Amino acid sequence: MTAQHSKYALELRGITKRFGRVLANDHIDLQIKAGDVHGIIGENGAGKSTLMSIIYGFYEADSGEMLIQGQPMSIRNSQQAIAAGIGMVHQHFMLVDNFTALENIMLGAEGGARLKQSAEQARASLNELAKTYGLEVPLDTPVDQLSLGVQQRIEILKALYRKARILILDEPTGVLTPQEADDLFRILATLKADGVTILLITHKLREIMAITDCVSVMRHGKMVAHRVTAQTSMPELAELMVGRKVRQHVERKAQPAGAALLEVTNLSVTDASGVRRVKNVSFTIGAGEIVGLAGVSGNGQSELLQALSGIIRFQAGEVRLGDTTITPKRSKNPAQLRRLGLAHVPEDRHRMGLVLPFQAYQSQILGYQREARYNATITLKDKVMADEYAQRAETFDIRPRDPHLQSSNFSGGNQQKIVLAREIFADPQVLLIGQPTRGVDIGAIEFIHQHIMDMRNAGKAILLVSVELEEIMTLSDRIIVMCDGMITGELSHDEANEKNLGLLMANAGAKEASA
């Protein structure tokens, strides 16, 4: 193929994609200069992922054309995308856990029948690549023993090994510590220097500002703006994404913490395969206090949250909730804990918070379905449920208001509001919140933050678990950091910044001490 030289590595003209009633991509035009780092930002559901899936051949566009290095090209599957020099690093890594890095990279490009021979060739060229781009990875370790940062490098290597000249990264820093993210950006800079074109999908404005050359903004399936990064600003981009001015910060009034409502002492959780996920964790939360729990995901925060809410059992330690003491021997299930005044907004609303096929007003009573006010002798009181839902939908501005709409038909932000409304209206003394704004639009984030702050001001004890450091720093009165199941440090609202939190998240202090 004689590549005709073009200014643009990738050009999209009028790409349109419709899913039934939803117009996911509406005449998208996009030009990406060769050798640029080009950012694409937009709220959830703006159509970014659909667009990337079209470029990578997962979906076929209904209309429009795509040019790669100036050549019109139709890509129907990922093999064709790879052949066209496009590589993709997915948000959730596509790795086989019990394969080694080398096996994963070769997967789908094994070469001939004699595996060993091609493995040696692959190893040689991978070492070459690793040296060139600073992408060292242990090639012979099964990937499930590697950190997420390293797994991501394997994904990048995988793309480069297939000779990708255009690299798409979908939300690459979601699972990384700030330090790991810095490493990633260094790698991307090296790739750029070598002429690789990089397409970065993210909702983090800070990253856009830090490493991109140009940025395109998507909203409601349309491309609404293209900017040269140096000539724009975070507030402008935020406004373009949401379509209106965004107020970033909730007001925090000084308020001393009251009596301890939740006291956790030496709590340990061992999972089904015998791995200790939470190790001797102790903390307290007072009335009118938000305690943030920071950490790279997978370091025991989820297990801690589930143990506190009664979903899984803890094997050692003690939890005092108000006047009740809970121990491994005298455990409480989630229903009992709710009656003791503990509410829980789960980390994953699809997996736990809602029943997606249920109508909204039915999801709205999940966990409270046995309460007297919903129950007649035999039947559930549909009307009471629907009326109550209507009232909550009004207060929380859940759109659309229709109580009979299926829970799955709401956007992420509105689903989250359904869960939050349910747990907040239960008027608990202690509120556990996991990832309150994961997958939620910027517009709804400020609203949700305000409600969490209101609960604090009303004297409730709140445990906030989030992977968004900014969220933790904005809301929390105190921040505890977990790494490898242990609490590695505690910072007050005023002390905390990304740097010292990041060090605690990586447990750098302990490593230095032991070294």
Q: How far apart are CA 346 and CA 416, in angstroms?
A: 10
Q: Which CB atom, from 395 or from 409, has the smaller least distance to another protein?
A: 409
Residue 307 CB, nearest approach to another protein (Å): 13
Q: Which CB atom, from 365 or from 472, has the smaller least distance to another protein?
A: 365
Q: Which CB atom, from 66 or from 337, has the smaller least distance to another protein?
A: 337
Residue 91 CB, nearest approach to another protein (Å): 18
Task: Select from 299, 333, 305, 323 the least CA-distant residue to 504.
Answer: 299
CB 262 within 8 A of CB 461: yes
Q: How far apart are CA 378 and CA 239, in angstroms?
A: 51
| DSSP secondary structure code for residue 359 in this structure | B
Task: Select from 54, 43, 456 the least CA-distant residue to 218.
Answer: 43
Q: Which CB atom, from 22 or from 228, has the smaller least distance to another protein?
A: 22
Q: Exposure pattern of 26-65 as b/e (b: 16+ CB <10 Å)? A: bebebbbbbbbbbbbbbbbbbbbbbbbbbbbbbbebeebe
| DSSP secondary structure code for residue 136 in this structure | -
Residue 95, φ and ψ in degrees, nearest 5 = -120, 150
Q: Which CB atom, from 210 or from 366, has the smaller least distance to another protein?
A: 366
Residue 368 CB, nearest approach to another protein (Å): 8
Residue 376 CB, nearest approach to another protein (Å): 9
Q: Which CB atom, from 295 or from 310, has the smaller least distance to another protein?
A: 310
Residue 155 CB, nearest approach to another protein (Å): 28
Q: Which CB atom, from 301 or from 309, has the smaller least distance to another protein?
A: 309
Q: How far apart are CA 305 and CA 259, in angstroms?
A: 21
Residue 346 CB, nearest approach to another protein (Å): 6
Q: Which CB atom, from 378 or from 515, has the smaller least distance to another protein?
A: 378
Residue 443 CB, nearest approach to another protein (Å): 10
Residue 63 CB, nearest approach to another protein (Å): 15
- 132, two tokens: 């060139």
Residue 77 CB, nearest approach to another protein (Å): 18
CB 417 within 8 A of CB 444: yes
- Which residue(s) pair with 480 in the sheet? 293, 490
Q: How far apart are CA 153 and CA 194, in angstroms?
A: 17
Q: Which CB atom, from 134 or from 400, has the smaller least distance to another protein?
A: 400
- 3 state SS of 505: helix
Question: Which residue ranges make up the site for another protein (CB under 8 A)?
Answer: 18, 20-24, 26, 45, 47, 220-221, 309-311, 333-338, 344, 346, 351-358, 362, 365-367, 369-370, 374-375, 378-380, 382, 399, 405-406, 409, 411, 441
- C-alpha distances in Å from residue 259, one per residue of 80, 406, 429: 62, 41, 12
CB 473 within 8 A of CB 496: yes
